[in-house]
Amino acid sequence: METIIITIFVLGYLAITLEHSLKVDKLIPALAMMALMWAIISLSHLPVFDVNTELKQLEPTHIDEILLHHLGKTAEIIIFLLGAMTIVEIIDYFNGFFTIKNFIKTRSKKGLLWIFSILAFILSAIIDNLTATIVLITILQKVVLKRDTRLWFAGLIIIAANAGGAWSPIGDVTTTMLWIGQKVTTLNLITYVLLPSIFCLGIPVGIASFLPAFQGEIDEAVADEKDVGFHKHGASMLYLGLSAIIFVPIFKTITHLPPYVGMMLSLAIVATFAEIFSKAKINITSFDEESDAHQTSSPVHRSLSKIELPSILFFLGILLAVAGLESLGLLFNFAEGLNKTIPNTDIVIGLLGIGSAVIDNVPLVAASMGMFSNSVDDPVWHLIAYSAGTGGSMLIIGSAAGVVAMGMEKIDFFWYLKKIAWLAFLGFLSGFFVFVVMRDFLF
């Protein structure tokens, strides 16, 4: 039966990887394989285990208990993401992100490259790399109207956004998983991963700034502000929303409560000001979709309706599917075999990072959390955070930021592979090398 379960997981994993070729949303195979795997475990009465990280052994438990345990851990991540997504959508409701456009004063291509890259690096650490990519490419479309030039900028934004998300507990889904799963703490994650991430950004952008594509100035005039759609409370909501998200790790450090509690508090604060600024009446029992969004409906309701629930359901499916393999002890045994075959953990994690360019990094990190039993803040977890977060930049389909940029700018897979992939690879390797040096000689 274990062979059947592994087969279902592999087939589901393959369907997720080939999402764009099959034209089937990845949430469907994720949910299907999760349900089938647990159904077989239950019907076959297979023994399930809980991994004791202190004793590094498997302890027998009941299927109801272990499933409830994994559901609780998954729910922590999902509720956290729901809160973060809602805050971001509230900021967008007030067109707050277009305030960032005020920081762009130059028409030099090289100057714009560094501005957009640094903005992507910083924003992705706060609002996650996917959202940062959407925001900055939207602004890029207002600043650079020539598509051939814009493609190069979009490619470097992907690298910068993924590098920025790797060092923040709220910057990437995978780092959030490690943080909520109590594998890393905020301060140590930043201490270990920030400098490697800077190199992962700086090397590609530094090299790219000398390429012909970034020489000279943009030919087109910057779009007028009236075309952008500024809102009088946009700047206030931007600063309030970003501050509220940054407050979450601080809240966790002070109270020692799970991160989703702090995120709910931040959401409540942001939502309160959103209602005040919009002067909308809250009516939970009714919602008129045809009404004017900025006059008759609650900004919170509008923001909640725009959340990507398919992504949430995908996380639910893939995390519980990996939890099934972990509960059977398969990941634990696989890790032991892998360590015997490849005793160098750095090589294993490096391959994981390269693999994340082809395979979704969420299940990869979820699997690694079940494979390794290292203590909290062990450098292994920080290296996993860096590798999984930045390795996806090597292919356009290797990260959520890349996929959304691909859709927004219609970036060709092979164009990215030829023009951008080598820059991303150099950035990944440089950051990886810096991390190893820091770990072995500085800490």
Alpha-carbon distance of 367 to 112, in angstroms, equals 39
Please indicate, yes or no, if residue 239 is contained in any of the structural domains.
yes
Which of residues 293 and 22 earns the better pLDDT score?
22
84 and 114, same domain (yes or no) = yes
Compute the C-alpha angle 174/120/181, nearest 5°. 15
Please indicate, yes or no, if residue 51 is contained in any of the structural domains.
no
- DSSP sequence for 175-230: HHHHHHTTS--HHHHHHHHHHHHHHHHHHHHHHHTTSGGGSSB-SSPPPPGGGTT-
262 and 397, same domain (yes or no) = yes
Query: What is the average pLDDT score of the chain?
Result: 84
Looking only at the bridges linking them, the beta strands covering 57-61 and 48-52 are antiparallel
Domain that holds residue 344: 62-442
How many separate domains does the chain show? 2
With a cut of 60, say whether residue 286 has pLDDT above it: no
pTM, entire model: 0.78
pLDDT bucket at 297, cuts 50 / 70 / 90: low
93 and 202, same domain (yes or no) = yes
Taking residues 250-273, report their average pLDDT: 92
Please indicate, yes or no, if residue 52 is contained in any of the structural domains.
no
Identify the DSSP state of 48: E
Please list the residues that pair with 52 across neighbouring strands.
57
Give the phi and the psi of residue 270 in degrees, each rounded to 5.
-65, -40
At 153 the pLDDT is 94
- Of the candidates 240, 166, 134, which has an alpha carbon nearest to the alpha carbon of residue 388? 166
Please indicate, yes or no, if residue 56 is contained in any of the structural domains.
no
Please indicate, yes or no, if residue 243 is contained in any of the structural domains.
yes
130 and 12, same domain (yes or no) = no
36 and 131, same domain (yes or no) = no
At 58 the pLDDT is 62
Please indicate, yes or no, if residue 101 is contained in any of the structural domains.
yes
138 and 191, same domain (yes or no) = yes
Structure confidence by residue, pLDDT tens digits, 59-73: 677 888 889 988 988
11 and 115, same domain (yes or no) = no
Please indicate, yes or no, if residue 331 is contained in any of the structural domains.
yes
At 396 the pLDDT is 83
Structure confidence by residue, pLDDT tens digits, 386-396: 999 999 899 88
Positive or negative, the CA dihedral 220, 133, 244, 118 is negative
Please indicate, yes or no, if residue 55 is contained in any of the structural domains.
no
With a cut of 50, say whether residue 55 has pLDDT above it: no
- DSSP sequence for 145-178: --HHHHHHHHHHHHHHHHHHHHTSTTTSHHHHHH
